[in-house]
Amino acid sequence: MHPLVADIEGLVRCESPSEDLAAVARSADAVAALGVRLLGVEAERIVLDGWTHLRWRFAPAPAAGTTSRVLVLGHHDTVWPVGSLTSHPVGVEDGVLRGPGCFDMKAGVVMAMHAIAALPPELRAGVTLLVTGDEEIGSPSSRALIEHEARGCVAALVLEAAGPGGALKTERKGVSRYDVLVTGRAAHAGLEPERGVNATIEVAHQVHAVAALAAPEVGTTVTPTRLDAGTTINTVPAAAGFGVDVRVRDEDEQERVHQAMLALQPVLPGADVEVVGGPNRPPLTPAATTDLFRRAQRIAAELGLDPLTATAVGGASDGNYTAGVGTPTLDGLGAVGGGAHADDEHVLVAELPRRTALLAALLAELLAELLAEENA
């Protein structure tokens, strides 16, 4: 068995749903132990709001204002609840590795460690490896940590899974999330409904208003999602609410939708509308990725790998945060496969050493250039 496969299987067997803090802590133990074995360095354990994140540095942190590090970024949490291994066991068959969270993105964590381990010490000194524990739920505790580590870096390399056909992710939409909360007035639905203010009717007006904010011609989606209303079938509802998922390609659209959401007004007399939330992740745009992608294309060709392609996706990652602070970012450097979050989640085993070699070569080139600049 290839060492990459064995290490991935080990991490997948340690289940780590994002909202189970104890499971995330156990997973962090497994990732930290693997890091010690492969990298020879203990991880710094960072617990924020209960979530466990891991950081490896191989030299003292650089002075403020310098650009002497490359950030390698991943996460060890998954969307799979504890017990998923019973119905989705870990294993390899016909060159395909399966298991909950193998593709998104425990394979990427292992690939990052193997690639960094392949670097000579003088180059490894320029790397920071950050593996967070809450990415799948929007990185509520780790966002500031990610942004702090990314600032001043010459590159952030994100080990999220590759796109279809192994494509690197050179564009990700920004994400905003909202809850629209409606307050009405309760009344008996049979005896005196006219005394009530029907929150269900008001929320229906608001759902239509929110959906109208979408702009498909520029890639903006505004999607009403979860909906709650009322208490009993014979009571005029006094409260209702719904969630909203927004995806945009640029910050101007994110701001346009945000201001429109905050400006929502009730339609029914006596109703009240409150909007909670806002932008969660800024867009990852081609401006942040183009140079690194071209470099990766050239290196792949030099290594004799299949030509690299690029893709734009609606899903967000922590790469949105690194790009948002101005750091050149390349995403999708992890496993090739498919089925993220789905029953058919899988990794193509043959691609693991190839993509790990690509990451190692990309890191080596970036770090050698930095070292040459520092020594000039």
Between 66 and 22, the more confident residue is 22
Between 120 and 375, the more confident residue is 120
Band of pLDDT at residue 63, cut at 50, 70 and 90: low
| Backbone torsion region of residue 194, taken as left when φ is above 0, otherwise alpha when ψ lies between -120 and 50, otherwise beta | alpha
Q: What is the C-alpha to C-alpha distance for residues 133 and 127, in angstroms, rounded to an integer?
A: 20
Is CATH 3.30.70.360 the right assignment for the domain spanning 174-281?
Answer: yes
Residue 235 CA: distances (Å) to CA of 192, 202, 204, 206, 232 = 10, 15, 17, 21, 6
Residues 13-22: what's their mean pLDDT? 98
Q: Is the pLDDT reported for residue 281 higher than 60?
A: yes
Band of pLDDT at residue 346, cut at 50, 70 and 90: very high
Q: Which of 265, 264, 267, 244 is nearest to 198 (CA)?
A: 267
Looking at the chain, the whole-number percentage of residues with pLDDT higher than 70 is: 98
Q: What is the C-alpha to C-alpha distance for residues 144 and 166, in angstroms, rounded to an integer?
A: 30
pLDDT recorded at residue 82: 98
**pLDDT tens profile 106-160:** 999 999 999 999 999 999 999 999 999 999 999 999 999 999 999 999 999 999 9
Residues 318-332: what's their mean pLDDT? 97
Question: Which residue ranges make up each domain of the chain?
Answer: 3-172+283-375, 174-281
Between 81 and 373, the more confident residue is 81
pLDDT recorded at residue 360: 98
Band of pLDDT at residue 376, cut at 50, 70 and 90: confident
pLDDT recorded at residue 61: 58
Residues 239-258: what's their mean pLDDT? 97
Residues 346-367: what's their mean pLDDT? 98
Band of pLDDT at residue 68, cut at 50, 70 and 90: low
User: Of 63-67, 78-82, 295-299, which range is least confident?
Assistant: 63-67
CB 71 within 8 A of CB 151: no
pLDDT recorded at residue 1: 72
Q: Is 153 strand, coil or helix?
A: coil
Domain 3-172+283-375 classification at class level? alpha beta
Q: Is the pLDDT reported for residue 66 higher than 60?
A: no
**pLDDT tens profile 167-211:** 999 999 999 999 999 999 999 999 999 999 999 999 999 999 999
Residues 6+ apart with CB under 8 A from 356: 4, 111, 114, 115
Two structure tokens written together for 277: 């939330």
By the 10 Å C-beta count (0-12 exposed, 13-18 middle, 19+ buried), 73 is classed as buried
Identity (one letter) of the amino acid at 108?
A: G
CB 171 within 8 A of CB 286: yes
Residue 287 CA: distances (Å) to CA of 185, 326, 337, 338 = 50, 10, 27, 27
pTM, whole model, 2 decimals?
Answer: 0.91
Q: Tell me what the pLDDT averaged over the chain comes to.
A: 96
pLDDT recorded at residue 90: 97
Q: At what angle do helices 107-117 and 21-39 cross, to 10 degrees?
A: 20
Looking at the chain, the whole-number percentage of residues with pLDDT higher than 90 is: 95
pLDDT recorded at residue 375: 82
pLDDT recorded at residue 373: 86
